[in-house]
Structure 1
Amino acid sequence: MGMIEDAVSAIKATNIRHIALQAISLGMIVMSALIIWKGLMCFTGSESPVVVVLTGSMEPGFRRGDIIFLHMSKAPIRAGEIVVFHVDGRDTPIVHWVITVHERAETNEVEVLTKGDNNLRDGRGLYAHGQMWLQRHHIMGWSVGFLPYLGWVTIIMTEKPYIQINF
């Protein structure tokens, strides 16, 4: 009987060690991802250095599911640049072209009007109620590059929560 009890306790100890190693490995993966994300935030100066295009408003330039890399700069915003911005009261960032910029030299303030390639009108319909222009604090960053279609994983996980549960 002593040998059987020894074998059972050895198996239990192995399972506990195995579970502990898996938990530590998972923790290291999560911490590595957070460190990389924070590093990208510092390097790019953007609160969100990577965003996924969620709509077709910028087609054919950017398609739904593309990943856009952002950089935030103190440089002036100019018409013709692609920016990602957030609107008060909405959680989802928006990708658009800057079509008009009003600069006020006396206050150093900037007002920006945007438009998506695939939209017939400017972006004012997406801004907060009564808002006619975006200010600099709305801009999350400028587009500096993209990877096509790789953001579909995020879209599927967001739009199909039952898939997320299965993984």
Structure 2
Amino acid sequence: MLKVSFFFFLRCGFRNLNQREKKTSKGRGRERKMGWIGETMDSIRSLQIRQVLNQAVSLGMIVTSALIIWKGLMCITGSESPVVVVLSGSMEPGFKRGDILFLHMSKDPIRAGEIVVFNVDGREIPIVHRVIKVHERQDTGEVDVLTKGDNNFGDDRLLYAHGQLWLQKHHIMGRAVGFLPYVGWVTIIMTEKPIIKYVLIGALGLLVITSKE
């Protein structure tokens, strides 16, 4: 009877040891598995951060390149704004709202009949109108101009600053030398509805940052 009890005790002891070893092995396996998952997640996070940084640098390079191209166009054309958008119908039927004009500013004196883009003191938005008359100053020899919209009844003196009768050279941004129809509507829509502009800019930025290529 004692022998049977002793062997039964040994068998139970070995069985408990085996069960403990199995549990320990399972625990170690789980720890190894969790450690591998953690390392994998850390690697993914590190890779994602690097990708975001790389795409952010790419976005910065795109913006910088656009600015360099714009500055280059300014130097080539001699105009502070080489490309402008027609914002009103005052030059119809020749130019319609939404058309894009390409400008060039040469040293040749401006003549009647030319289409120019000019700034007016007190107004932020430039105006695209035709020169209808030129006036040469007797004291300096400089040429001043009077403008008018093709679709307007009168000249632009009501648009000029108070008491100003002529546009001087520093008011002129450039001569119109070419145009693209309707392309500028994107700019008009974004100007009139700023929320669309912010959404488009955000979407483009997100697209560049999240792009894998």
**TM-score bin, normalised by smaller chain:** over 0.9
Matched, 1:118 2:151: yes
Deviation per CA, 1:8-32, whole angstroms, max 9, x where unpaired?
1111011101111110111011011
Quick check: which one's helix share is greater? Answer: 2
Matched, 1:74 2:107: yes
What value does the CA root-mean-square deviation take over the aligned residues? 1.0
Secondary structure, aligned partner of 1:123: coil
Identity of aligned residues (%): 73
Q: Name the structure 1 match of 2:125.
A: 92
State the Cα distance separating 1:108 from its structure 2 match: 2.1
Deviation per CA, 1:24-43, whole angstroms, max 9, x where unpaired?
11101101100110000000
| Equivalence map 1:42-61=2 (5 Å) | 42-61=75-94
| CA distance in structure 1 between the aligned counterparts of 2:119 and 2:109, rounded to whole angstroms | 18
Q: TM-score, normalised by structure 1?
A: 0.97
| CA distance in structure 2 between the aligned counterparts of 1:126 and 1:26, rounded to whole angstroms | 41
Q: Name the structure 1 match of 2:162.
A: 129
Q: Name the structure 1 match of 2:22.
A: none
Extract structure 1 runs of 4+ deviating beyond 6 A.
none
Q: Name the structure 2 match of 1:141.
A: 174
Runs of 5+ in structure 1 lacking a partner? none
State the Cα distance separating 1:6 from its structure 2 match: 1.0
Q: Name the structure 1 match of 2:205.
A: none
Deviation per CA, 1:67-106, whole angstroms, max 9, x where unpaired?
1000011101100000000001111000011000011254
Larger radius of gyration: 2
Secondary structure, aligned partner of 2:84: strand
Runs of 5+ in structure 2 lacking a partner? 1-33, 201-213
Q: TM-score, normalised by structure 2?
A: 0.76
State the Cα distance separating 1:2 from its structure 2 match: 1.8
Secondary structure, aligned partner of 2:38: helix
| CA distance in structure 2 between the aligned counterparts of 1:162 and 1:136, rounded to whole angstroms | 37
Quick check: which one's strand share is greater? Answer: 1
| CA distance in structure 1 between the aligned counterparts of 2:79 and 2:39, rounded to whole angstroms | 57
| CA distance in structure 1 between the aligned counterparts of 2:70 and 2:195, rounded to whole angstroms | 27
Secondary structure, aligned partner of 2:157: helix
Q: Which amino acid aligns with 1:53?
A: V
The partner residue of 2:45 within 12, 18, 25 is 12
| Count of aligned pairs between the two proteins | 167
Q: Name the structure 2 match of 1:164.
A: 197
| CA distance in structure 2 between the aligned counterparts of 1:71 and 1:24, rounded to whole angstroms | 33
Q: Name the structure 2 match of 1:22.
A: 55
